[in-house]
Amino acid sequence: MNNNSLWNDALRRLIANRAAVGSACILTVLILAAIFAPWIAPHSYSYQNLDVGATPPSGEFLLGTDTLGRDLLSRILYGARVSLLVGFVATAVALVIGVSWGIIAGYFGGRIDSVMMRIVDVLYGLPFIIFIILLMVIFGRNIWLLFMAIGAVEWLTMARIVRGQVITVKNQEYVMAAQAMGVPNLRLFVKHIFPNILGPIAVYATLTIPQVMLLEAFLSFLGLGVQPPMSSWGTLIRYGVESMEEYSWLLIYPGLTFTITLFALNFFGDGLRDALDPKTSED
Amino acid sequence: MLQILLKRLLIAIPVILIVITITFFLIRMAPGGPFDAEKAVPPEVLKSLNERYNLDAPVIVQYKDYMLNLLQGDFGPSFRYPSRSVTEMIFTGMPVTFELAFYAILVALIIGIFAGVLAAVKRNTALDYIPMTIAMIGICMPTFLLGPLLVLFFGIHLELLPVSGWDTLPGDKILPSITLGAAYAAYIARLSRGGMLETLNQDYVRTARAKGLSEFNVVFNHAMRGGLIPVLSFLGPAVAGLIGGSFVVETIFQIPGLGRFYVEAAFNRDYTMILGTTIFFSVLIIFFNLLSDLAVLIANPQSRSSQ
The secondary structure of residue A55, as a DSSP letter, is P
Q: What is the mean pLDDT of residues B74-79?
A: 80
What pLDDT, on a 0 to 100 scale, did the predictor assign at position B32?
A: 57
Stretch A98-102: mean pLDDT = 91
Cis link prior to B95 (omega < 30° from 0)? no
Q: Which residues of chain B are within 8 Å of residue A130 when distances are taken between CB atoms?
A: 243-244, 262, 278, 281-282
* pLDDT above 90 coverage of chain A, percent: 10
Angstroms from B91 CA to nearest CA on chain A:
19
- Whole-angstrom distance, CA of residue A187 vs CA of residue A185: 6
Q: What is the pLDDT of residue B33?
A: 55
The verdict on a CB contact (< 8 Å) between B148 and A245 is no
Q: Which residue has the higher pLDDT, B15 or A88?
A: A88
What are the distances in angstroms from CA A93 to CA A88, A204, B5, B131? 9, 13, 35, 35
The residue that leads in pLDDT, B144 or B239, is B144
Q: Of A120, A130, A145, A248, which to mutate for an interface test with B (greatest number of B Cβ within 10 Å)?
A: A130
pLDDT(B53) > 80: no
Domain residue limits, chain B: 94-306
User: What are B252-270's pLDDT values in tens digits?
Assistant: 899 999 989 988 888 777 8
pLDDT, average across residues B68-87:
81
What's the CA gap between B77 and B106, in Å, rounded? 35
Task: With both helix axes pointing from N to C terminus, report the angle between B229-252 and B86-121 in degrees, rounded to the nearest 10.
Answer: 130
pLDDT at position A3 is 56
Q: Which residue of B has its CA nearest to A265?
A: B140
pLDDT of residue B181: 92
Chain A: give the shortest CA distance to residue B216, in Å.
Answer: 22
- d(Cα B168, Cα B146) in Å, to the nearest integer? 22
Q: Please, is A198 exposed, middle or buried when counting C-beta atoms within 10 Å of its C-beta (0-12, 13-18, 19+)?
A: middle
Into which CATH architecture does domain A3-51+60-282 fall?
Answer: Orthogonal Bundle (1.10)
Q: What are phi and psi of A82, to 5 degrees?
A: -65, -50
pLDDT attached to residue B217: 84
Nearest CB neighbour to A283, from listed B11, B151, B197: B197
pLDDT at B307: 42
From B66-75, B270-279, B289-298, the region with the lowest mean pLDDT: B289-298
Helix/strand/coil for A65: strand
Q: Which residues contact A188 (CB under 8 A, 6 or more apart)?
A: A175, A178, A179
The model scores a pTM over 0.90: no
Its sign, for the CA torsion A113, A154, B112, B180, is: positive
pLDDT score at A281: 43
| A29, pLDDT greater than 90 | yes
In this predicted structure, what is the pLDDT of residue B8? 77
Measure in Å the smallest separation between the Cα of A108 and chain B Cα atoms.
Answer: 22
Best residue of B10, B24, B140 to probe chain A, by most A CBs closer than 10 Å: B140
Q: Cβ–Cβ contacts within 10 Å for residue A37, how many?
A: 17
B243 interaction partners in chain A (CB closer than 8 Å):
127, 129-130
pLDDT given at position B101:
93
Which chain B residues touch A224 with a CB distance below 8 Å?
Answer: 266
Provide the pLDDT for residue B226: 80
Cα A207–Cα A166–Cα A280 angle in degrees, nearest 5: 50
Percent of chain A with pLDDT over 70: 93
Higher pLDDT, A129 or A25: A25
ipTM (interface pTM):
0.79
Residue A241: which of B240, B247, B252 has the nearest Cβ? Answer: B252
Cβ atoms of B143 and B245 within 8 Å: the answer is yes
Which residues on B lie below 8 Å from A138 (Cβ)? 26-27, 29-31
Average pLDDT, chain A: 83
CATH architecture assignment, domain B94-306: Orthogonal Bundle (1.10)
Q: How confident is the model at residue A1 (pLDDT cuts 50, 70, 90)?
A: very low
The amino acid occupying position B192 is S
Strand spans (E) along A159-262:
none
Report the percent of chain B where pLDDT is more than 70: 90
User: Which of A127, A221, A241 has the CB atom closest to B285's CB atom?
Assistant: A127
Q: Which chain A residue has its CA at the smallest distance from B266's CA?
A: A137
Q: Which residue, among B77, B33, A61, has the nearest Cα to A53 in the 3D structure?
A: A61
**Separation between Cα atoms, residue A28 and residue A33, nearest integer Å:** 8
* Of A210, A159, A199, the residue nearest A280 (C-alpha): A199
Model confidence pLDDT, tens digit, residues B181-228: 998 999 899 889 988 888 888 888 888 888 888 888 888 888 888 888
In 3D, which of B115, B130, B137 has the Cα closest to residue B193?
B115
Q: Which residues on adjacent β-strands are paired with residue B77?
A: B85
Is B15's CB within 8 Å of A217's CB?
no
Residues 6+ apart with CB under 8 A from B27: A134, A138, B271, B274, B275
pLDDT given at position A27: 92
Residue A98 pLDDT: 92
Contact yes or no for B266 and A221 at CB 8 A: no
Using the predicted structure, report yes or no on whether residue B61 has a pLDDT greater than 80.
yes
Q: Do B266 and A224 touch (CB under 8 A)?
A: yes
Which residues, other chains included, contact A258 with Cβ-Cβ below 8 Å and sequence gap of 6+? A83, A213, A217, A233, A234, A237, B142, B145
Closest CA–CA distance from residue A42 to any residue of chain B (Å):
26
* Domain limits, chain A: 3-51+60-282
How far is CA A127 from its chain centroid?
Answer: 20
H/E element, A89: helix A72-108
Give residue B97's pLDDT.
93
User: Using CA of residue A48, residue A50, residue A56, residue A57, what is the dihedral sign?
Assistant: negative
In the structure, what pLDDT confidence band is assigned to residue B249 with cuts at 50, 70 and 90? very high
**Cβ contact A241–B282 (<8 Å):** no
DSSP chain B: -HHHHHHHHHHHHHHHHHHHHHHHHHHHHSSS-TTTTSPPPPHHHHHHHHHHTT-SS-HHHHHHHHHHHHHTT---B-SSSTTSBHHHHHHHHHHHHHHHHHHHHHHHHHHHHHHHHHHHHTTTSHHHHHHHHHHHHHHHS-HHHHHHHHIIIIIIIS--S-SS-SSSSTTTTHHHHHHHHHHHHHHHHHHHHHHHHHHHTSHHHHHHHHTT--HHHIIIIIIHHHHTHHHHHHHHHHHHHHHHHHHHHHHHTT--SHHHHHHHHHHHT-HHHHHHHHHHHHHHHHHHHHHHHHHHHHH-THHHHT-
Of B103, B93, B21, nearest to B62 (Cα)? B21
Burial class (CB in 10 A: 0-12, 13-18, 19+), B214: exposed
Distance from B141 to chain A by nearest Cα, in Å? 6
Chain B interface, best mutation among A23, A122, A137, by max B CB count within 10 A: A137
* pLDDT for res B179: 92
Could you give the CA distance from residue A42 to residue A154 in angstroms, rounded to a whole number? 36
CA dist., res. A158 & res. A99, Å (int): 6
Please name the amino acid found at residue B28: R
**A157 closest CA partner among A109, A110, A117:** A117
pLDDT in tens, A221-270: 888 877 777 788 888 888 888 888 788 888 888 899 999 999 899 888 88
pLDDT tens per residue across span A155-214: 888 898 889 888 888 888 888 888 888 888 888 888 888 888 888 888 888 888 988 898
- Looking at per-residue confidence, does A96 or A138 come out higher? A96
Across the range A150-155, mean pLDDT stands at 83
Of A125, A241, A259, the CB nearest to B141: A259
Q: How confident is the model at residue B304 (pLDDT cuts 50, 70, 90)?
A: low
